[in-house]
Amino acid sequence: MPSKPREKKKSAVNRVPAVETREIPLVGHARVLEQLSEAITKGRLGHAFLFVGPDGVGKHRLARHIAQSLLCERSDVRKLQPCGQCSSCAMVRAGTHPDLLQVAKPEEKSELPIAMIQALTAQLSLKPARGSRKIAIVNNADDLNEESANAFLKTLEEPPPGSLLILIARSLESQLPTIQSRCQVARFFLLSDDEVARILLDLGKVGSAEQARLWAHAAQGSVAKAIEWAKPEWQELVETMVESLAQQPITSHQLTARLLPFIDEAGKESASKRERARLVVERLLGLLREALRASCGSFDSGEPGIPAGRLDVDLLADMIERTLDTDYHLQRMAAIPLSIETWLDDLARLDEGRHLDPIF
C-alpha cells in the first residue's frame, strides 16, 4: 500500500531529524567510514563514538548509515553497505526499529533534558529485539547539561552487551572530560563545494547543477545551510542585505527593521530565534567574505553580492571582525535585538570611517 506522510505534529517528547524516505547515497567522510569499517572488520568496534564536526555536514546521516548497516539482516556488516530492502532497513529508515534509539534536544529547550537520557538508558537496558545489537544515537550532545551528562556516564562507560552509542556534537571542547574519555572520537570536516552540490542534487533541493554549485559555495561546506539558503525567503533577505550594504551610508535602521521580524518568525522559543539570528549573521558574514575575495581578485561565485570595490580590504576586515563578535555575543546568550541593532549600527559607522568603542 502506498504511504502518505501524515501531517507532522510537534511532539513534546522528542525531536529527531526528519525521516528520509528515499535512499540517497552517502557523500564524503570517507576517512570516518574507513576508520569504522576497519574496526568492524577486525572485530574491534568500540562501544561509544563521539562524532564531532560542524552542523549540516552529515554526522547524523552517517550515524544512521552505520546503524542501518549493523542492523541490516542481509548484507555483510563489514562492507557497511546495508541492503535497503529488508524489514530492518525499512524500519531504520522509518525510525521505528526497536534496536535503534535516538534522542535529540527538543526544539523548545536549550538543553537535552535528563529525563530523555534516563529513558534512553532504560531502553538500552532491555535485550535487543531483533538481532544482537542495539544502537543509540544521541544528537545535540553539546547540549547535554551536567546532570544529563552524568546520568549518561555509567551507561557510556559500560553499556549493556551488544550496544553501540554514537554521540553527535559540534565541538569536542563542549563535552565534559568524563564523556570525552569514554568515547572514540571521529572528526567530521566541512564538505567540499562539489560534495555539497552533489548532495543538493541528490536530495532534489535545487533545479540545476549551476544552482547547486552556487548554493554549495555560499554554504561553505554545510548541506543544511545550503538547503536553508536556497529558500526564497533567504534569497529575498540577501537581496535586502546587499542593497543596504551596496551604498554609503549603510541603511542600518532599515536593515535592522527588516532582520528582526525575520528572526522573530523563527518560532516561539528563544532557542530557535537565536539559531536563526546566528544564521543571519553568518549569511551577512558570507557576503562580506565574498566581497573581500572579490576585492583581492579571487574567485567570483556569480552570486549576487556587494559590488566590487565598494568596500576596501581594511574596512572589510574590520567589518568581518565586528560580525564575528556579534556571532560570539549571540552564542553567549546576549539579547538578540540589542546584538543585531548594535552590530548593524557599528557596520554603518565603520563604513563612515569612524572607530568603534571597544566592547570588551
Partner 1 sequence: MKATCHREGLLSAFQVASGVVPQRSPRPILRSVKLVFSPPDQATLLATDLEIGIRYLLSGIDVDEAGSIVLPVGETMSILRELPDERINLRAGDGGVLIEAASSRFELATEDPQEFPDVPEMGSEPAHRTKAGVLLGMIRRTSFACASENSRYALHSVLVEFEEGRFKFIATDSKRLAIMPGAVEVAGEVPEGNWLLPPKALNLITRVLADPEEEVSFVLRDNEALFRTGKVVIYTRLVEGRFPKYQDVIPPEVNFQIPLPVGPFYGVVRQSRILTNDESRGVDFEFAEGELRLESRASQLGQSEVRMPLGYSGNSIGVTYDPQLLIDALKVLDPSEEIRLELADNRRASVFRTRDDYAYVVMPLIRDR
Q: Which residues bind partner 1 (CB under 8 A)?
A: 1-7, 9, 11-16, 19, 87, 90-91, 93-98, 118, 121-123, 125-130, 160-161
* Residue whose CB is less far from partner 1, 14 or 174: 14
232: three-class secondary structure by DSSP: helix
Q: What is the DSSP string of 168-194?
A: EES-STTS-HHHHTTSEEEE--PPPHH
**Least distance (Å) from partner 1 to the CB of residue 155?**
9
Cβ closest to partner 1, residue 9 vs residue 332: 9
Q: Smallest distance, Å, CB 11 to partner 1?
A: 5
- The residues near 128 (Cβ < 8 Å, ≥ 6 apart) are 99, 134, 162
Strand, helix or coil at 320? helix
Alpha-helix residue ranges (DSSP H) falling in 221-335: 223-229, 232-246, 252-264, 270-295, 313-331
What φ, ψ does residue 63 adopt, rounded to 5°?
-60, -40
Q: What letter would DSSP give residue 215?
A: H
Q: Which is nearer to partner 1, 90 or 333 (CB)?
A: 90
Closest contact distance (angstroms) between CB of 80 and partner 1 is 23
Task: Closer to partner 1 by CB, 123 or 220: give it.
Answer: 123
- What order of strands is seen across the sheet that includes strand 134-138? 100-103, 134-138, 163-169, 48-52, 184-187
Nearer to partner 1, 99 or 346 (CB): 99
Least distance from partner 1 to the Cβ atom of residue 1, Å: 5
The dihedral of CA 27, 28, 32, 34: what is its sign?
A: positive
Return d(Cα 340, Cα 345) in angstroms, integer: 9
Beta-carbon neighbour count of residue 148 at 10 Å?
Answer: 22
Three cell numbers written together for 288: 562580506
Residue 67 Cβ, how far from partner 1 at the closest point, in Å? 15
| Minimum CB–partner distance for residue 63 and partner 1 (Å) | 17
Per the structure block, which three cell numbers stand in for 286? 558570507
Choose between 124 and 311: whose C-beta lies nearer to partner 1.
124
- By beta-carbon proximity to partner 1, the closer residue of 54 and 160 is 160
Q: What is the nearest approach in angstroms of partner 1 to the Cβ of residue 14?
A: 4
Helices 59-71, 30-41: inter-axial angle, 10-degree rounding: 30
* Single-letter amino acid, residue 58: G
Minimal distance, residue 96 CB to partner 1, in Å = 5
Closer residue to partner 1 in complex, CB, 96/110: 96
